[in-house]
Structure 1
Amino acid sequence: MKNLSRLLFAMLLMLGMGNTYAQDENNPWAITLGTNAVDFYPTGEAAPLGDMFDEYFNATDHWNILPSVSSLTVGRYLSNGFTLGATASLNKIDKFGDDRSKYDEVTYVGVDGIVKYGFGAAINSSWFDPYLGVGGGYTWVDEIGAGTLNGTLGINFWVTDNVGITVQSAYKHAFEDYLDTHFQHTAGISFKFGGKDTDGDGIYDKDDACPEVFGLAEFDGCPDTDGDGIEDSKDDCPNVFGLAQFNGCPDTDGDGIPDNLDDCPTVAGLQELNGCPDADGDGVADHLDECPNEAGPAANNGCPWPDRDGDGVPDKDDLCPDKVGTAANNGCPEVTEAVQKALNAYAKTILFDTGKSSIKGQSESVLKDIIAILNEYPNAKFTVEGHTDSVGSDATNMKLSDARALSVKDYLVARGVDEFRLSSKGYGESKPIDSNKTKAGRANNRRVEINLVK
């Protein structure tokens, strides 16, 4: 058993010194200087010791503490949160549970290796880094040594990027009867170092804003390819020497617009035209102007357009090129309130055979007037609406009003009004404009309306 303990110790020590205890990729090496306390009591052994974890924090009665720097740990980062380390510790033992006679300030020496996993990255914390570890080592008490198997719980509190406070507690199970199982608590200050420089520019990766690209110290390790004094990440033209006022871009034509924003970088131009000239002053840059020496609107590519009726809508876009209209109505005149009233004044005089949808012959003249008005507004759309009084059932009145509205629509379409400009709908007795209690009121309610679709 003694040979097995020594072999285990030797293997762990060699592994530990080759790749030891670490903190992160940028600072792979760490050294911890601290003090340690050895406690035999809360290990579950027989009296004079206590049960497992019994009086675990009773430092006054059970902890053996050497009041000086008594622990040294060297560590190196592996990967994915794992580190491997080696620790040497020194102590004086004069407390063995409740028995003060077993030891009289005998020397305690421990050399241990550990593999640990840190949870700092997993919990997304840069300063609070708890860890669990497992390992083993060799411990001598009063010059008698034995191998141990260790389990460790600890926390790193990183005060800065490179300096932190470390506290941990290790349970050390002895392989030999002449060494008692015990706890060893450690508190110390940790220092990280050994940062790498991936791009070889003399700036460690942890301080290098561009760790994979060779750069300059004045730009925190980032490059300035064109040498204009502006680092590439802030240089809008990183491969061309430029001016600071233009974020590193040149202004070849000197018009105050940098080449990268200038549509005409070799010819001085106007700011509002992205650096291009406008010879005729019509607001259309010469290289886009089909008539560069004759002013015209941008909508017509810089050329003037014909407008026969002079309403400001070019003939090619004017649905009524020979009638003055509005741009909002595609060059056609808009239906005014007066025109709408005139339409309905005519529509109310349309007469039908009693109880039928057939139009009486004497309504022909008023329908001609209605057609004349509709033809004045060739792009306007209208709805022919039929209405009745309250005499008769709702269903009958609805059917009759719908039929009369459709009859008027068909009449107008048959006489040249575009059918796509007209729709019809009956409302029955649902929209009276007068009282249905009098003969005159009912006569007013029996009507046709022709309303503009807005």
Structure 2
Amino acid sequence: MKRLFISISCILSCGLFSVHAQTDSVKQCVSSEKEYVVTPFDIWMRSNWGFSMTGGTNYFLGDISSNENLNLQSNFGIGVQKQLNDYIMWKGNFMQGRLSGEKAEFESGSVANLYFFAKITELSTVFQFDVLNMLQGPAERKGAIYAYAGAGIVDFRTQRKDLITKAVQESYGFDGIHLAAPTRELVVPVGMMFSYNVNKALAFNLDVSLRMVNSDKVDAYKANANNTIFADMYNYTGIGFSYKFGYKDCDYDGIPNRLDKCPGTPYGMPVDATGCITDKDNDGIADNDDACPEMAGPAFTKGCPDTDGDEIADKDDSCPFDKGSIEMKGCPDTDSDGIADKDDKCPKEKGKIELNGCPDSDNDGLADFEDRCPELFGPVVLNGCPDTDGDGIADIDDKCPKEAGLSKNLGCPEVKKEVLKIFERALTGIQFETGKDVILKTSFPILDQVVKVMKENPSYNLEINGHTDNVGNAQKNMELSNKRAIAVQNYMVSKGVEASRMKAQGFGDTMPIADNKTALGKSKNRRVEFKVVFQTITVE
């Protein structure tokens, strides 16, 4: 072990000297005049291979182990490694060490007095994942966290003894007291590694892992004969270093100085096999200056394509296939209203931003295409139509637009109770000469009251409906009822009521309101009804 640590110290010192030498060489980064041929060894040395060394302790976790007595044993390992990409590294490990454990009594309280000692040799392969790169993206970091898992084989020779007498009770890899072929089992290592990167080549590591053995023989004791799958395991904790091979590279572009035709390349710039900055898309713009190094484009868009030729790169162009202005983020604005066509509901009509580019001719807050009355100012709740009388019914739907009314009356007011009473008396109060359409003078007073109602309520429109009983010829009854309704209309016109506000019509005996089998019923059926257009006047 002493020689091991001396070796590690020498290697670390060489690594630190190499770091100092590389730092100084940046100031002397010059091009070589000599042409070199790239050899297979050059390729191998630049292909992310490396090696590692580690030393630490093992702690057994199995049947013969105790939390009271930590039996730590030494372990040493070396390995080779290859960086596969920014996220994954492959490693092949060779490890050699020891394990031991003791148990004075079982969990049940009975005496155990068991002790074992084993020598182990492990050969395994693992895949190591860069946790920070996977979570935050690839970057140059001083600190790194890795998680790894893999599989391999472990050879071991072990002896179980009595803790007091030291008498051998069971062993593997021994023929009596002589060495025999070691026992070989599958081992599955899983763990975490914490690294400090001194530079791109050298890193110091802290390794914490669990090595699970597919056996219950490591401590030469089987607590449960029916369960031997990964029954024994041990913890390894160690420190060490890893080193990636490579040549001196003064500009850190991955190309050794003697092969670098463009020394002094800015750090982090992509380069080709000669160390010169690449132009992958062949657009004449170096990748380090090219905003789109994978896609060819003109210089005025920093190397990015501009499909529609509006001098706005496709990646920044909201409409990459339609020519537009910078103000519109590359989109056209056909009607020049400051709203891109793709967002403009009325792209061919200049409109307002708050209405998604649509016009509002009457400035009532509703776009014309949504406005029932686009030329007349009106509230939104009435779909942009005015309501002159303020009854909540748009003038376009209001039969009485200048007089507040009810929706059930199509915007016209409720008929007053006193008016209803007058119409009710008129049902029986209007009398005619028998079989004729001549109004008796006794009917004039009630008709004059109806005339007065019409004059006091200019919004009323009146339907005058004549009816008869079923006595006589039905056709003649129809004609008589019509003449009587017209006679009433003429009377009211003579009293000053506009004819345009009235409609006279006869229905004969087709709409009785009582039984025609009785004299009383026939009397009720011979009537003249007045009907305001928004309410029918009848007597139940």
TM exceeds 0.5? no
| TM-score, with structure 2 as normaliser | 0.31
Give 1 or 2 for the bigger CA radius of gyration: 2
